[in-house]
Structure 1
Amino acid sequence: MLLDQEDFHLIDVAKSTIERLYIDGKHHIGAAVRTKSGKIYSAVHLEAYIGRVSVCAEAIVLGKAISEGESDFDTIVAVRHPDPSQDHQEIEVVSPCGICRELISDYGKDTYVILKREDKYIKMKINELLPEKYTR
């Protein structure tokens, strides 16, 4: 599915969040989620020296929205800030990891996820990224 202006705005919010809060070795992923009510929340991930303690930006942004009383999610996007040593310094949309796919589908089975495919953005329902998910 192609993106609309609201989706491009969501990407811009995620990018501006990581641009503003980027710290090498601490925060390199930003995320933004739009709820079905139209509110947008954004956050960065928390890096830890012991990797298993790190928390993805998607988890933090969902928690932030849930903490504000939101529970119906429309679209989510994550972006990655490049390391300072990389030649290419553009912030790029990235696909959620497997754990985040599980989390997004647990809290919003109809949520769209924005992805970058080649030179264009698309959005897919989370259940397309996590097919045949187990059920409770």
Structure 2
Amino acid sequence: MDNKKLIRKALEAKKMAYVPYSGFHVGAAVEMEDGTVFTGCNIEIVSYSPTICAERTAIFKAVSEGHKKIRKVAVVGDSHHTYPCGVCRQVIREFGKDARILIANTEDDFLEYGLDELLPHSFGPEELLPDSEEENNV
């Protein structure tokens, strides 16, 4: 999928954010290796720790439906260029070591990174189990 279409999907997902406490809306769209796209929004809970980011919502939806290889992630938020948090970067790493990350304000205003730029010297499944890529279909 081209970048603009993926960003549009993230912008649509952002509208669904449940953010009664921070008021900070985030949307994400994740394109998997086979071209399937999953979207997610951030969802806040009053006690905050069970809150989940948009990126993880989209990725967990994908994984729960059998998709385990991320090609590209688009993230949009209420601030100028909203980046994934550290936890989301690590989750992206688990399923998309070579993923491209689009940090967007609009479909025409975005920055593109490799995950290695946002999470250098990352720790992944291959560090624990040498053949984990095959075992996890990553």
TM over 0.5: yes
Match of 1:86 in 2: none
Counterpart contact for 1:78–1:96, Cα < 8 Å? yes
Residue identity in the other structure for 2:73: I
CA distance in 2, matches of 1:9, 1:69: 23
Consecutive aligned runs of 4 or more in structure 1 exceeding 6 Å deviation: none
CA distance in 1, matches of 2:19, 2:72: 27
The share of aligned pairs that are identical, in percent, is 27
The Cα shift of 1:110 comes to 0.8
Residue identity in the other structure for 2:89: R
Match of 2:118 in 1: 129
The Cα shift of 1:22 comes to 4.0
- Normalising by structure 2, report the TM-score: 0.76
Give yes or no for the alignment of 1:56 onto 2:45. no
- Normalising by structure 1, report the TM-score: 0.77
Give yes or no for the alignment of 1:75 onto 2:64. no
The Cα shift of 1:115 comes to 2.0
The Cα shift of 1:23 comes to 4.5
Residue identity in the other structure for 2:119: L
How many residue pairs were aligned? 121
Q: Indicate which of 90, 96, 121 corresponds to 1:102.
A: 90
CA distance in 2, matches of 1:108, 1:131: 14
The Cα shift of 1:93 comes to 4.7
SS of the residue 1:38 aligns to? coil
The Cα shift of 1:69 comes to 1.3
Counterpart contact for 1:77–1:93, Cα < 8 Å? no
Runs (5+) with no aligned partner, structure 2: 129-138
Residue identity in the other structure for 2:122: K
